[in-house]
Amino acid sequence: MQIGIIGSGSWATALAKILTDNGNTIHWWIRNTTTIGYIEKRKHNPHYLSSVYFDQTKLRLSDNIASVVSESDAIVIAVPSAYVIEALDLLPKGALQGKKIISAVKGILPSVNLLLNQYLLEQFAVPLSDYFAVLGPCHAEEVASEKLSYLSFSGLDVATVTSIAALFKTEYVNTVINTDVYGVQYAAVLKNIYALGAGIGHGLEYGDNFLSVYIANSADEMVRFLKKIAGTAENNANTPINYAASVYLGDLLVTCYSLYSRNRTFGNMIGKGYSVKAAKLELNMVAEGYNAAKCIYELNKSVQADMPIASTIYEILWEQLPAEHGFKKIEGFLI
């Protein structure tokens, strides 16, 4: 199987490492030709995970996204959610027909408030049967240092999901199979919001005891939303789901607690008094939870799940509610 990767950030670079370490040759779209030249010469990405060195015989680098897609049977989309549409706009409408799409996007596309599979169906006629999601808990930095990580692969057909997951299984990556395509994606969106909130709490100097209660309540709130949305989704809504599994609770925990978490870092800045604009400039990376807070707030107007924590995080980020006032509200919600 010929594999393509769209994107060149830290997560895309980590996935490129996993695939090439497993013996796969990849077609890799990188927008910046200078970066391509650097990788070809120096064998590592100068901007992200620079400690990772690649076997050049396994790389087919290109700044032409249409060419990468054309050469690939399966395409990993690993672009921050805010920039996915900009990248895909470079493709002709029929370019993705017959391709297996593997989403490594950890957010809703903010300009249209859709999951990637919904957007691909609308714009490129990609059916859900050809769509798969790969999610954590997994940090790019720990992949780079080859610390044991777990990746969950979700799709409607177990046999196909299993074959795709096998491409990524290495000595330092274990793979898990899942059929809850919508649920795992929304869980990935929500955990970024709650992790950003955990960072705000830390910045406001709440202690570990409070944060443990906050995260426990966030987990409960996430499940309420996922159960509501499951009834409207096209995937296997009637299949029993273990929401304590790694792709749900595990990813929430690591994103809330880990120092690698950019959402937690972004929130910590907000808690310490940074404006959203200043925090964006300081972080110089995409914190998916910022846009996700607004997307989920708008989506929940129709879903109608009880989500006071996520709603308050939205108010802090988008409606200028002072962080300390917002967390006083949250104190009253927690049980």
Is there a contact between 217 and 334 (Cβ–Cβ < 8 Å)? yes
CA distance readout (Å), 84 to 2, 87, 101, 189, 333: 22, 5, 13, 15, 35
CB neighbourhood size of 299 (10 A):
18
Out of 17, 99, 106, 191, pick the active-site residue. 191
- N-to-C CA span, the chain: 50
Q: Do residues 150 and 173 touch, judged by C-beta distance below 8 A?
A: yes
Bridge partners, residue 6, by sequence = 29, 77
Helix (H, G, I), strand (E, B), or coil: what is residue 62?
A: strand
CB-count exposure of residue 284 (10 Å: 0-12, 13-18, 19+): exposed
Q: Is 329 a catalytic residue?
A: no
The Cα 105–Cα 185 span in angstroms is 8
Q: How far apart are alpha carbons 36 and 98 in whole angstroms?
A: 28
43: left (phi over 0), alpha (psi -120 to 50) or beta: left
CA distance 310 to 288: 14
Nearest to 144 by CA among 252, 44, 258, 287: 44
Task: Give the pair of three-digit tokens for residue 8.
Answer: 């060149």
User: DSSP class of residue 109?
Assistant: B
Nearest to 152 by CA among 136, 168, 163, 131: 136
Report which of 187, 69, 74, 172 is spatially closest to residue 135, judged by C-alpha positions. Answer: 187
Contact status, residue 246 vs residue 187, Cβ threshold 8 Å = no
Active-site positions read 191
